[in-house]
């Protein structure tokens, strides 16, 4: 958070929102010190952001739960996403039909999809669909539907009905946040509905997420850990950060 000193209410909220977007989480006491105001002033500002759906208050601070443009998400944790994609490639080779979501994490895999004969890919991500064009070994189907400007995903009844028509061997989904108790979480109900549709259409559910998403929370619950078969991160499977998930899902 680069803003110091006293700010008007709207400027203060904007500064807090920028910090949340950049850091993912802020502490009330630290923000109060940086902005030169009482902690209760920060708490009131964060409550305004929470009511607008852009933040969620947690013990001692707040976390970011808003949405970002795909190009912004694509630039974050890129090294971690490439490591995750490398871990996912052998899994793709094991299946003849897969579903891909619209996340920037899964997009990295789509850009470097391994050569698989007669692979069927179903996606509701425009960027993933475009990345797979020209790959002669992959037959790619885009779900259709209405593009959600908040997430870039194709959502709504048409998208859900298209996805639900398939019997996929597996799907690869990312998530805005993963909580050991709540499972995966997303910032919008529409994103949850399309991800649940893809999970329900798949025999196996793989969640691919970088470590910054672990033990975080977002606005809406999506897929429970009981319905996830494999969690893929950039971490070594023995990393203690994965301990809360170790007895629930397979780790890679």
Same domain (yes/no): 122, 179: yes
pLDDT value for 5: 41
Domain-terminating residue out of 18, 40, 64? 64
193 in the same domain as 177: yes
pLDDT value for 143: 96
CA distance 8 to 208: 40
The CATH number assigned to the domain holding 38 equals 1.10.10.10
Burial environment of residue 152 by CB neighbours within 10 A (0 to 12, 13 to 18, 19 or more): buried
Please indicate, yes or no, whether residues 199 and 137 belong to a single structural domain of this protein: yes
Same domain, yes or no: 78 and 160 = yes
Asked if residues 78 and 45 have their Cβ atoms less than 8 Å apart, the reply is: no
Residue 90: strand, helix, or coil: helix
Sheet-wide strand order for 177-179 = 177-179, 183-186, 220-221
Are the C-beta atoms of 126 and 147 separated by less than 8 Å? yes
- What's the rounded Cα separation, in Å, for the pair 147 and 154? 4
Structure tokens at 139: 């037959």
Whether residues 156 and 242 share a domain: the answer is yes
At residue 3, the pLDDT reads 41
pLDDT tens column, 227-238: 999 999 999 999
23: tokens are: 């850091």
Taking the C-alpha atoms of residue 88 and residue 85, their distance in angstroms, rounded to an integer, is: 5
CATH number, position 241: 3.40.50.10470
Model pTM? 0.73
The whole-angstrom separation of Cα 184 and Cα 154 is 19
Examine the domain organization and report whether 150 and 192 are in the same domain: yes
Measured between alpha carbons, how far is 21 from 5 in angstroms, rounded to an integer? 20
How far is residue 143's CA from residue 156's CA, in Å, rounded to a whole number?
A: 10
Phi, psi dihedrals of residue 32, rounded to the nearest 5°? -65, -40
Cβ neighbours of residue 27 under 8 Å, at least 6 residues apart?
A: 60, 61
DSSP three-state, residue 198: helix
Distance from C-alpha of 156 to C-alpha of 219, rounded to nearest angstrom: 19
Structural domain contains residue 4: no
Instruction: List the chain pLDDT tens, one digit each, 252 residues.
Output: 444 444 588 888 888 988 887 777 889 999 999 899 999 999 999 988 877 667 878 888 887 766 555 455 555 567 899 999 999 999 887 778 999 999 989 999 998 888 777 899 999 999 999 999 977 788 999 999 999 877 889 999 999 999 999 999 999 999 988 999 999 998 888 999 999 999 999 999 999 999 988 877 777 889 999 999 999 999 999 999 999 999 999 999
Q: Which domain holds residue 148?
A: 71-251
> Same domain, yes or no, for 55 and 167?
no
Total number of domains in the chain? 2
Rg for the chain, CA atoms, rounded: 19
């Amino acid at each position: 958070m680069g803003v110091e000193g006293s700010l008007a209410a709207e400027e203060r909220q904007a500064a807090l929102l920028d910090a949340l977007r950049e850091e993912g989480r802020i502490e009330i006491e630290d923000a109060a010190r940086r902005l030169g105001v009482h902690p209760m002033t920060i708490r009131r500002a964060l409550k305004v952001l929470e009511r607008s759906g852009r933040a969620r208050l947690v013990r001692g601070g707040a976390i970011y739960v808003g949405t970002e443009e795909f190009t912004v998400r694509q630039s974050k944790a890129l090294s971690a996403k490439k490591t995750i994609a490398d871990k996912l490639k052998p899994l793709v080779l094991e299946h003849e039909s897969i579903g891909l979501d619209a996340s920037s994490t899964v997009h990295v895999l789509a850009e470097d999809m391994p050569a698989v004969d007669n692979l069927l890919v179903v996606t509701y991500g425009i960027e993933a669909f475009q990345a797979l064009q020209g790959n002669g070994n992959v037959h790619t189907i885009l779900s259709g539907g209405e593009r959600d400007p908040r997430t870039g995903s194709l959502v709504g009844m048409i998208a859900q009905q298209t996805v639900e028509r398939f019997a996929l061997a597996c799907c690869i989904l990312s998530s805005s946040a993963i909580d050991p108790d709540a499972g995966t979480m997303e910032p919008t109900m529409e994103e949850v509905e399309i991800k649940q549709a893809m999970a329900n259409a798949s025999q196996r559910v793989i969640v691919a997420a970088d470590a910054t998403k672990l033990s975080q929370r977002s606005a809406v619950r999506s897929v429970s850990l009981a319905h996830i078969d494999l969690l893929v991160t950039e971490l070594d499977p023995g990393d203690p950060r994965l301990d809360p998930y170790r007895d629930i899902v397979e780790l890679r």
